[in-house]
Structure 1
Amino acid sequence: MAPFRQPKRFALLVGVDLYLSNSARKDKHGSTLSLGNLHGCVNDVEAIRELLRTEFQVDSPSILTSSPAGSRDTTDTEPRESPDRLPTFENIQREFGNVIKQANAGDFFFFHFSGHGGRLQPVQGLSPPDRSADPSLLTADFCRGKPAVRGWQLNQWLKMLDEKKVHVVAILDSCYSGGSWRSGRFRSPADWPIVPNLPVDEAAAQDAVAKPASRDGKLDKSWSINPEGFTLMAACGGREVAAEKTINGKPGGAFTYALVKHLKQNKRSNKLSTYRVIRDQIALDVTGQSPIVYGRDRLLFFGNIEPFSATPLVVDIRDGTVSLPIGKSHGVCLGSEFFSFPPPSGTGFSITQVNDFDCSARISAEAEHALRSDRSLVVPSRWSFGDQPLRVLVDSSFEIEFQTSLFRSLENRIASSIEITEMEETSGLDDSSLRVVQANSHIEIFGPKSWIGYRDPVRGLAITDQHIEERASRTAVALSHLARFEQVLSLKSLASDEPPPFKAETNSI
């Protein structure tokens, strides 16, 4: 593995309670447009800031908020924050620019937005083609004639970080459905028309991107964001509304409240929190909205690993050596990689010695210090199958891009050798390899009968994603688990020649 380097953690948290207005924004009939204030967005920011500080070691996030100078029920028309700390397009773009300049490969970036969303008129030549509207994050001064952050613009900024190999997660507690809004309970303005553009909108769109978004034909995810290399969580689907709720007298986003609650509960119980697990937990808590997650949903929350196992292990650290209570009897091979839990310290190591019931690795002083700070808990991140390569045959009808993505996805999970070979026909093959076959609108996986128990496609798989990266990722997950299953079946051939540690006898009664 690469030498240990403590990654930096960046965060930008945006919350808009107070929406400023004058007569600058009008609909196509000339009527002035304004946005109702919200009550829980700044509270969301405070809750997320405290969560990042206590659970994820993010001490200095960038904060942009807009809140009334008095109580929440006042009719203040000016915010308490200084102009440079307001959630305006200019300030949000500036903060993204700072992170893009400072962040390096392996660092982490967390973006959270709480506020109104809306549907805006597309910008000719810049917005994705064939769209009737741009889903957008509405900034505090939008109704004073200033630009919003369009979803495809946010996508461009996030992609710039992803291309630098920064680990990115974006969380949006907002909505753009235009559903019923009253008393600030929902984060989408009521029955808004598609808002006509002002010259400032077109100028901001032109300035925000290095290339026209219309060149990206895949912007069909939530908020026009295509998170193939990173993770996007949103409070609800495109036709739903994101609600506010009051808990113990304190208003906040229903989605953000549930997110923070479950992350804290999982941390106390040492339960692994992947984005997919968190989404499912939140869905049980909120009503009237369906939380969604796109992109790398199997990563640990604000982490960079997809755990191969769901159980954290307590390790022993002495004199630069870390020892784990698992060994050959558990299928551990040389080269298996582990990372600290919880993320995102980025402390990882590769196993260099394996005994029957334990294994170990040499680590640097910096890594030792980081591991001790993480309560000496680790999880498997990339599994090794020893000297035997994982051999996969793929249908020749799969495009090269899929085969390349499949190899990358397997590399993210497997530390030992991988061989993906294209096959010309699916019939008459040696029944000794895993096989990936294109079948109409979905992918089927076949395995040796000695593993699977039958010759038909593996049951229970429904790999139907439209995007190549997601299809490859889901296929890689299934292949990894099948290979691990075969390894478990083969453990009996690795029985130790040493005397057993104990014997058990039974007596008849």
Structure 2
Amino acid sequence: MAIESRSATVHWAVIIGIDYYPEPKDKCLSGCVRDATTVKLFLETGEPNVNIAVLTATTPTDPSFGRPQEKPEVWPTYENVISGLLSVIDMAKGGDFVYIHYSGHGTRLLSQLALVLLSEDGRGSRYLRGQTLALALHKMVEKGLRVTLVLDCCFSGSVVRNSDWHGFDIRCIDYNSTVNDVSLQEHSASLFDVASTLRDSSMEKDWLLTPEGYGILSACAPHEKAYELETRDGGRGALTYFLLDALSTLRNRGTKLTHQSIHEHLSTRFHVSWPRQTPMRYGNENFAFFGESLLPPDNAFVPIYKTGDDQLCLRAGHIHGVFEGDEYAVYPFDTPEHAQNQEEKALLNVRVNTARAFESELIVIGPTSALQFQMGWKAKPLTSLSPRCIPVKLLTSISGISQSQLEEIAKGQRFMRLFTEYQMEEPCIFNVIINEHDEYEVVDALHGKVPCVPNIS
């Protein structure tokens, strides 16, 4: 795509979709190329114009062919993906926007994510290690680019096909040491011309989780599996499908929401429609999708959903300061986060009938006219009656935190107080530990895992 003026802000996209995997042959997917083409179509039909590079691998109709159907120059090989990232780094200027989308298999390599790409001849696989991807993103951020990364793949290192999930493809593949031997020969720092200190894995992990220059949406938690779902058009990645549905709704109404709001919507959509996986968000929560930073909302919306027995539920509970009798105004998904006079535009008002630890049941209190519930509805509090302050204890596995640091961390959380294990003797309902996977995990007073609360890496 020709660029008329380099003085204007430019949007760049690198889209990768891999259905065909030569080995093992039973791990070919069915929806990744469709994901890539659908994302490309979405970007092409909107504003502004986007410079798009698409790399895909379609499974050949003749298994003996042994290579993707596409021409080699658009195969998602390690070399082509690295070349695409380097081209963006070289051609983009500070202030430009970059969107990277990956749909395909993921694996875990030395406790890190690795994307499973194709070898140069298309007849084997090669890993793009998480460290290499992090270095590419770091180089983009260092140049002043604003990056959105979507990973519709699994972070798990094994494939488990439970009998309940027959008919669904899982986007993870077993780690292969032979493939890794080739992948370890790459020199990540020299590829992207960054300091050797960036090779340190602990630095990489911290940088990935707390960046200001980009935002990440991933299909599932680090130890979950990412599935493909069947739609009228064929197989699709669950994250890509729900994400594009949400973005299309926002585009039609001319609304921009932050990554944080989009993630909360996706999390609720998965919770209701596809509870097999939990989408995750990392990085700058105030980025708009493939766009500039937005101001954080003064009073964030809370997603609501309807259960199979028509019960309206609020995705917040006691731990968030919700109390029986609290009232909320309900708005459609595409309501801007800083809309004026939102009280006049509310669809209806609801009241908390039953508050539980993390979710609450709602009853409608007005208006009385019947409305057909739409996925994506969200609520803002009108009243708050909670007199409670929930104690949360940090156990000994989280060390080196003083009381003054706890007070700073908990600032603004008026319904929660943080304690160390030695500051109070009575048991807390909620306790935070670091588990064997080096993740923060919420457990109950008996140190049992609290249901429906994802771990945080």
TM-score (norm 1): 0.53
| 2:205 aligned residue | 220
Letter in 2 for 1:148: Y
- Say whether the 8 Å CA contact 2:22–2:67 is kept in structure 1: yes
Letter in 2 for 1:63: V
| 1:319 aligned residue | none
Which SS does the other structure have where 2:186 is aligned? helix
In 1, distance between residues paired with 2:26 and 2:146?
Answer: 34
| Selected match of 1:278 from 238, 254, 262 | 262
**Inter-CA distance 49–438: structure 2 relative to 1 (3 Å threshold):** farther
**In the alignment, is residue 443 of structure 1 matched against residue 408 of structure 2?**
yes
| 2:183 aligned residue | 201
Report the CA distance between 1:146 and its aligned residue.
5.1
Residues 5-24 of structure 1 mapped to structure 2, 5 A cutoff: 6-21=8-23
**In the alignment, is residue 78 of structure 1 matched against residue 62 of structure 2?**
no
**In the alignment, is residue 303 of structure 1 matched against residue 283 of structure 2?**
no
RMSD between aligned alpha carbons? 3.6
Report the CA distance between 1:201 and its aligned residue.
2.0
**Inter-CA distance 249–50: structure 2 relative to 1 (3 Å threshold):** closer
Which SS does the other structure have where 2:203 is aligned? coil
Residues 421-436 of structure 1 mapped to structure 2, 5 A cutoff: none
| 2:136 aligned residue | 157
In 2, distance between residues paired with 1:36 and 1:179?
Answer: 10
Give the length in aligned residue pairs: 305
Letter in 1 for 2:234: K
**Inter-CA distance 183–309: structure 2 relative to 1 (3 Å threshold):** closer
Task: Identify, as 1 or 2, the structure richer in strand.
Answer: 2
| 2:147 aligned residue | 168
In 1, distance between residues paired with 2:19 and 2:244?
Answer: 19
**In the alignment, is residue 137 of structure 1 matched against residue 115 of structure 2?**
yes
Render the CA deviation track for 1:58-101: whole Å, top value 9, x for unaligned. Answer: 44300000003449xx6753212111210011000001111111
| 2:107 aligned residue | 118
Which SS does the other structure have where 2:221 is aligned? coil
**Inter-CA distance 304–183: structure 2 relative to 1 (3 Å threshold):** same
Residues 60-75 of structure 1 mapped to structure 2, 5 A cutoff: 60-70=51-61
| 1:289 aligned residue | 277
- Say whether the 8 Å CA contact 2:141–2:147 is kept in structure 1: yes
- Say whether the 8 Å CA contact 2:116–2:125 is kept in structure 1: no
Render the CA deviation track for 1:247-277: whole Å, top value 9, x for unaligned. Answer: 1142110110000001111222344321111
Letter in 1 for 2:21: Y
The unaligned stretches of length 5 or more in structure 1 are: 22-32, 121-131, 312-376, 381-436, 447-456, 466-509
| 1:459 aligned residue | 414
- Say whether the 8 Å CA contact 1:237–1:292 is kept in structure 2: yes
In 2, distance between residues paired with 1:462 and 1:144?
Answer: 56
Render the CA deviation track for 1:8-40: whole Å, top value 9, x for unaligned. Answer: 11100000001124xxxxxxxxxxx55610000
- Say whether the 8 Å CA contact 1:119–1:176 is kept in structure 2: yes
- Say whether the 8 Å CA contact 2:221–2:277 is kept in structure 1: yes
Letter in 2 for 1:43: R
- Say whether the 8 Å CA contact 1:152–1:225 is kept in structure 2: no
Letter in 2 for 1:201: S
Render the CA deviation track for 1:105-141: whole Å, top value 9, x for unaligned. Answer: 1101000000000123xxxxxxxxxxx4332000033
Report the CA distance between 1:193 and its aligned residue.
4.7
- Identical-residue share of aligned pairs (%): 24
In 2, distance between residues paired with 1:176 and 1:193?
Answer: 11
TM-score (norm 2): 0.59
**In the alignment, is residue 187 of structure 1 matched against residue 171 of structure 2?**
yes
In 1, distance between residues paired with 2:27 and 2:38?
Answer: 23
Render the CA deviation track for 1:462-502: whole Å, top value 9, x for unaligned. Answer: 8999xxxxxxxxxxxxxxxxxxxxxxxxxxxxxxxxxxxxx
In 1, distance between residues paired with 2:9 and 2:224?
Answer: 37
Letter in 1 for 2:220: C
| 2:452 aligned residue | none
**In the alignment, is residue 48 of structure 1 matched against residue 39 of structure 2?**
yes
Q: Point out the more displaced range, 247-256 or 163-172.
A: 247-256
In 2, distance between residues paired with 1:463 and 1:242?
Answer: 34
In 2, distance between residues paired with 1:80 and 1:197?
Answer: 22
Which SS does the other structure have where 1:186 is aligned? coil
Which SS does the other structure have where 1:105 is aligned? coil
- Say whether the 8 Å CA contact 1:19–1:140 is kept in structure 2: yes
Report the CA distance between 1:303 and its aligned residue.
1.2
**Inter-CA distance 291–463: structure 2 relative to 1 (3 Å threshold):** farther
Report the CA distance between 1:289 and its aligned residue.
0.6
- Say whether the 8 Å CA contact 2:19–2:57 is kept in structure 1: yes
| Selected match of 2:76 from 87, 97, 100 | 87
In 2, distance between residues paired with 1:145 and 1:277?
Answer: 39
In 1, distance between residues paired with 2:172 and 2:279?
Answer: 16
Letter in 2 for 1:46: T
In 1, distance between residues paired with 2:288 and 2:296?
Answer: 11
Letter in 1 for 2:131: W
| Selected match of 1:262 from 236, 243, 246 | 246
**Inter-CA distance 161–459: structure 2 relative to 1 (3 Å threshold):** same
**Inter-CA distance 20–243: structure 2 relative to 1 (3 Å threshold):** same
| 1:98 aligned residue | 87
Render the CA deviation track for 1:419-458: whole Å, top value 9, x for unaligned. Answer: xxxxxxxxxxxxxxxxxx9734352587xxxxxxxxxx66
**Inter-CA distance 38–310: structure 2 relative to 1 (3 Å threshold):** farther
| 2:363 aligned residue | none
In 1, distance between residues paired with 2:298 and 2:50?
Answer: 28
Structure ID, larger Rg: 1
In 2, distance between residues paired with 1:442 and 1:205?
Answer: 43
